[in-house]
Amino acid sequence: MKTSELTAAEFAAQFGASHIVPGPFAYFACDNGLGVIRDNRDRTIEIVNATEKNIAEFSPEDELLLLAMVCGEYREEVTIPRSDTVFDYEERDRKTTKKYNAIRITLNLLLSLCISLALILIFVLID
């Protein structure tokens, strides 16, 4: 499936002027008769139907393919402050490790408590 970027006027001519809204949007036409509106701010897409093809027939994989074709490959946005030092990184790592260990210990305690209560109930019901 090929997509080509259109101007707002070209998109309105093909898919109707009701789909054109002001803002940071880009418009694309697919070779299968679908139109795609990309919101550059939220990085989302809206699929517009110009033919009688049912949009509900698209699987999540098809939608992801369209999103990748229009928006490009996903790139994680990581901003590292210029004043960041190794000590800052180590401090963030320690905080994250402490939170992770606290969650892990809490879950282990809850699991142990549940197993203990289950064993107590089993022994009480046996007697």
What contacts 26, CB < 8 A, 6 or more positions away? 5, 37, 38, 40, 70
Total-model pTM: 0.49
- Do 27 and 12 meet the contact criterion of CB atoms below 8 Å apart? no
Mind listing the pLDDT tens digit for each residue in 57-94?
667 777 777 777 666 666 777 777 788 888 988 998 99
